[in-house]
Chain A
């Protein structure tokens, strides 16, 4: 991305060392600086991530043998409910937009901050309170909610566990998500630097913009739906419970109207990260910029219309099932457009292997497996066979963890020098990538086999013939967890022992690489004037051609 004049070397101290109104911890929790808020989200989110990942490993440990291995059935139900709520609402939905969107999006569009800095801080506080509510619900009398993250009625209306606090947590977290979306839409519309036209915006920003629209439009629906469950529990109003005259299928419609687009809230920023990292390490101008940008919008739009493919076995009308199956197939088109353009970007590139790129390559392969198995699930006849089995669990984790999770790891390794001003060691990063990729596939691929053979999801017990495959998956969970631990030990140790990072260690062309690492408080001494697109690697392409 060329700018009219070089960004002057900042004489300002970086944002960590700038004097603020409050000192110490108060300087963080009352900050309105988008970068500090991004770091706040990162720290909070990682706490929840490790808690939820540990619960996941414990779940797999329980599945090592049929029957009881080390916990009872009720505890197992609590494990998967908390694992789901934390991973979905506290890690993967806020993950990329709230952490990297907050830290980088204003810099990438040439702005000094987001449009509503105080609202941004409020979003983080709501996120924190929502997370605390979720944790508190575990320890209150009545026990942790055991409904799964979907809160399906009529069970969620009748169970004596702490459903209301868990619902409150999701409700509050929804507001945090809406406010972040609102802030990002406004910022992208109002605060782009001079010359930063829509088609000069980095593709990560395009993906954040598409995500923000879903956050604003779809999240209120889940808020109201969860509130209706609370009203039904408190006042016995027949909304969803059939014994009171309600309709449980209506709940599923309302729940998935949000929760399926939420899947795209989770994956779209991950797709943006791929588009950001690939050109840098392939030294190629991105192939099909406009197609990738518009495919983000298309995924956001069509992806909002496919929710009822979660409900093919609940007794929907045939017309309804046909329409939703068709729309599900339709959403694969913009997703495939992205993958083809990424592959074309790598083609004949001067590829430089690095930790961020390795995570991205794993992302692409795993996302494709997740996407194809999604098409299998979208096929009406096969869906009946594999509905609510481990096949769905495998598909979901391939997209969400194999895609977004690995995208987040890639983003962390890519923007770590910018965020913290330090470099990490490459060897442990490679080892962590290897362990995470091997462990991930060993954990989740067997689930397709289990599901196809009829192993239902969320069951505490299973038939003896499933044991070997379950044990393979459990061993995979240990390897994956080990990879994640190595990754974060490397990144945390590098905060103190890492070498100082230069402003542009990877040779990136987008605006965040034109400012010091870490950036000063207001990012730019002068707002830059942008004159070209974000991925201008023509000089490398010419050099590569001359060599040939």
Chain B
């Protein structure tokens, strides 16, 4: 099996991800996209937003962790991504203080 060696900067320890893993993650992303499309036709009321955002968040995490190699990075990088995610979550929550109570 071919392996992809990723060691872009000298301070990073070399790490490898097999193409099987990439393929499985890709399949998971396609399935989750299919699920989102299927759920769009089901009347879930207010839960539709939460469901769609949950699926989108899982897909994002898969891309970040595996394709973008976040799981191999040190704590500083993971913290930076966490800050971005938390900020985004706060933006959405505060926006829904308007929509949910309108």
Chain A residues in the interface with B (C-beta under 8 A): 189, 213, 216-217, 221, 249, 253, 257, 304-305, 308, 315-320, 323-324
**Contact among A217, A304, A317 for B101, CB-based, below 8 A:** A317
B residues neighboring A (CB under 8 Å): 76, 83-84, 87, 90-91, 94-95, 97-102
Q: Is the CB of A317 within 8 A of B87?
A: no
* A317-B97 in contact (CB<8A): yes
- Inter-chain pairs besides A304-B87, A317-B97, A324-B97, 18 sampled, C-beta below 8 Å: A216-B84, A217-B84, A221-B91, A249-B98, A253-B98, A257-B91, A257-B95, A304-B91, A305-B90, A305-B94, A308-B98, A316-B98, A317-B102, A320-B97, A320-B98, A320-B102, A323-B94, A323-B97
In the complex, residue of chain B having the shortest beta-carbon distance to the beta carbon of A185: B80
A-B contact pairs, 8 of them (CB 8 A): A221-B91, A257-B95, A305-B90, A308-B94, A315-B102, A316-B98, A320-B98, A324-B94
Q: A189-B76, A257-B91, A305-B90 are in contact. Are A317 and B84 (CB under 8 A)?
A: no
What is the minimal beta-carbon distance from B24 to any residue of chain A, in angstroms?
29
Query: What B residues does A257 contact at CB under 8 A?
Result: 91, 95
**In the complex, the 4 A-B pairs of residues with the closest C-beta atoms, listed nearest first:** A320-B98, A317-B101, A319-B101, A320-B97
Say how far A179's CB is from chain B's closest CB, in angstroms.
16
Q: Which B-chain residue is minimally distant from A221 (CB atoms)? A: B91
Q: B90 — nearest CB in chain A belongs to which residue?
A: A305
Q: How far is the CA of A446 from the CA of B45 in the complex (A)?
A: 51
Q: Point out the residues of chain B lying under 8 angstroms from A320, CB to CB.
A: 97-98, 101-102
Classify the secondary structure of B's interface with A.
helix
Give the CA-CA distance A316 to B84 in the complex, in Å. Answer: 26
Complex: chain A residue closest to B102, CB-CB = A317
B71 → chain A closest CB, angstroms: 21
Taking CB atoms, residues of chain B closer than 8 Å to A323 are: 94, 97
CA distance A445 to B23 in the complex (A): 64
Q: A189-B76, A217-B87 are in contact. Are A318 and B94 (CB under 8 A)?
A: no
Residue of A nearest to B94 (CB): A305
- The answer to whether A317 and B98 have CB atoms under 8 Å apart is yes
**In the complex, what distance in Å separates the CA atom of A304 from the CA atom of B94?**
11
Q: How far is the CA of A249 from the CA of B98 in the complex (A)?
A: 10
Q: Return chain A residues, CB-CB under 8 Å to B99.
A: 317
A108 CB → nearest B CB, Å:
22
| Whole-angstrom CA separation of A136 from B100 in the bound complex | 42
For the complex formed, measure the closest distance between the CB of B97 and the CB atoms of chain A, giving whole angstroms: 4
B89 vs chain A, min Cβ distance (A): 12
CA distance A213 to B97 in the complex (A): 25
CB distance from A252 to the nearest CB of B (A): 10
Contacts of B91 in A (CB 8 A): 221, 257, 304
Point out which of B84, B90, B94, B99 has the most chain A C-beta atoms below 10 A from its C-beta.
B94
- Which chain A residue shows the least CB distance to B76? A189
**Cα–Cα, bound, A221→B92 (Å):** 12
Shortest B36–chain A CB gap in Å is: 18
**Complex alpha-carbon distance, A320 and B96, angstroms:** 8
Q: Which A residues are CB-close (under 8 A) to B95?
A: 253, 257
Q: How far is the CB of B98 from chain A (nearest CB, A)?
A: 4
In the bound assembly, the distance between CA atoms of A189 and B79 in angstroms comes to: 13
Shortest beta-carbon distance from A254 to chain B in Å = 9
For the complex formed, measure the closest distance between the CB of A182 and the CB atoms of chain B, giving whole angstroms: 10
A317 to B94, CA, bound (A): 12
Report chain B residues within 8 Å CB of A189. 76
Chain A residue numbers with a CB within 8 Å of B76 are 189
Closest to A322 in B: B97
Complex alpha-carbon distance, A189 and B91, angstroms: 26
Q: How far is the CA of A467 from the CA of B102 in the complex (A)?
A: 41
